Amino acid sequence: MFENYRYFITLAEEKNVTRAAKKLFITHQALSRYLSHLEKECQVVLFYRKPTFRLTPEGEEFLKTVRVIQSLEQNLTQRYTELRNGNTGTIRVGITEGRFRIFMPSLIKRYSKLFPAVQLLVTSARPAKLEELLLNNRLDMAIMGATENPPPSLHREIILNERIYVIVSDNMLRNYFPSRYPECITDFQEVIDLKQLLSLPFASNLPSANSTRMVEQLTRQLHINLHYIHIHTSNHLDLHHILTSQDYVASFCLSMYLPNVKVINSRTSNHLFAFPIKGLYATNPVVVEYRKKADFPNLR
């Protein structure tokens, strides 16, 4: 029943016999025969053929089972690799797109020094896609903002509870608070009230981003609307900070991005300030997720 289970996984992923056969380097006829024999053996229909080629509920159950087999096989291969070669292997890490450029370069450098024989493969995607890749055995772990209701087959650990800050350039403070500059810097470094920033233009993050929801919850409580410049809406907060350094917008910054603000400050005389926000007590949990019972290379 589980012989050539990769054929079934590829059919489920491609949702097309011709594409799946091409990917598997077998003929369309051979793959069709495989599926026909499998359904006879299981005595159920695993794929609907019309109006589109897709899994039946029975097929979904079969896919869950072969995913477990695939994961066990990967674990066994990892163990045998370590027995043959010592502390070697591969770890496939996913991280959200906005954090990729900020977090990964330094991590990869440090990791390669600590574990030179273990290969680190990194993928960036949005949280929902990362969880899908984990469930499909395409990633070993993922670093991301916490999603609601993680799949029960995944284990989650919080590695950081991020605060959110307002980022404003020195020039913007001088221009928007002329009567209070530079004393306002000292005042704002303790805490800044968003009501004082209604005249500033802001870069907007994606509506689905945790940082956006955190700020919007506070602005609703305060009954205010910030002045967003929608010419640049993305989840790459490091680009927002570059725009802030050019006095185009104020922006928001999660804790993990603060080192990038420091880097920008080292390259410009127009200093960026990170101010904590009055009344914003919510934090953004950053988590690492991985499949339960997953084996990793021995990193000792």
Q: List pLDDT tens digits, range 101-129.
A: 887 888 888 888 877 878 888 999 988 89
Share of the chain above pLDDT 70, in %: 90
Task: Look at residue 169 in the predicted model and tell me its pLDDT.
Answer: 97
Task: Look at residue 300 in the predicted model and tell me its pLDDT.
Answer: 47
Lowest-confidence range among 226-230, 261-265, 268-272, 273-277?
Answer: 226-230
Residues 42 and 58: their CA atoms lie apart, in Å, by 10
103, 118, 193, 220, 233 from 144: Cα distances, Å: 11, 22, 28, 26, 20
Say whether pLDDT at 35 is over 90. yes
Cβ atoms 227, 284 nearer than 8 A? no
Say whether pLDDT at 173 is over 60. yes
Type of residue found at 296: F
User: Mean pLDDT of all residues in the chain?
Assistant: 87
What is the per-residue pLDDT across 37-95, written as a single tens digit (0 to 9) for each? 999 989 999 999 999 999 999 999 888 888 878 777 776 666 656 555 555 678 889 99
Task: Look at residue 78 in the predicted model and tell me its pLDDT.
Answer: 61
DSSP bridge partners of 123 = 94
